[in-house]
Structure 1
Amino acid sequence: MGDVVGDSKVDFGVLAVLHKWPSLANQRRSDRASYQVIEGTLDECISAFMAKPAATRHLYEIRTIAQPPLVTDILSPEHITELARLREFL
């Protein structure tokens, strides 16, 4: 079910969870734990992330099953944006 990228495959149908970090003045609070926003497929979590205002995306991350080398178990906002571009390309 994955899309082929060179010799690497990304399965956008795997289980993933979009997390948000509590913030103060639009900055992550390191003294608080992140919390679950949605649970679904990697594709659904990427779509939900991309629907967030660009100015707040740094407060989010996606947790999923690692799919080396393109997908790590915790995806940073920059990594999610790159995967969204890759997904659009495919």
Structure 2
Amino acid sequence: MGDSPFRDSKVNFGAAAVLHKWPSLGNQRRPDRTSYPVIEGTLDQCISAFMDKPAATRHLYDIHATPQPPLVTAILSPEHIAELSRLREFL
């Protein structure tokens, strides 16, 4: 079990991060537009703000963060954010 990245990796939830929202039309991301920042703070704050969004709109958000391999990438997808939220609660 020692080779699990979740068990052996430490995530700095206090690291700087930015929650971004994608412009949408009909609850779908607009591929012709770019995302814009809505919250700048810590990874923890951005994850909490993301999880507070209605589940039906979370696909319109991502988090830009300083990479912390292997668990935190430069841009975190909604699915990745939800996994980190679960990990944060587990820890």
Q: Shift of residue 70 of structure 1?
A: 0.6
% identity of equivalent residues: 78
Superposition TM-score, scaled by structure 2 size = 0.93
Superposition TM-score, scaled by structure 1 size = 0.94
* CA distances 1:33-71 after superposition (whole Å, capped 9, x unpaired): 101000000000000000000000000000000000011
Aligned-pair Cα RMSD in Å: 0.6
> What is the alpha-carbon distance in structure 1 between the residues aligned to residue 34 and residue 24 of structure 2?
10
2:78 aligns with: 77
Which letter maps to 1:9? Answer: K
Structure 2, unmatched stretches of 5+, are 1-5
1:63 aligns with: 64
1:48 aligns with 2:49: yes
Aligned length: 86
> What is the alpha-carbon distance in structure 2 between the residues aligned to residue 84 and residue 14 of structure 1?
15
Which letter maps to 2:90? Answer: F
Q: Shift of residue 7 of structure 1?
A: 1.8
4+ residue runs of structure 1 moved beyond 6 angstroms? none
Q: Shift of residue 6 of structure 1?
A: 2.0
SS in 1 for 2:69: coil
Structure with the higher fraction of residues in strand conformation: 1
1:8 aligns with: 9
Structure 1, unmatched stretches of 5+, are none
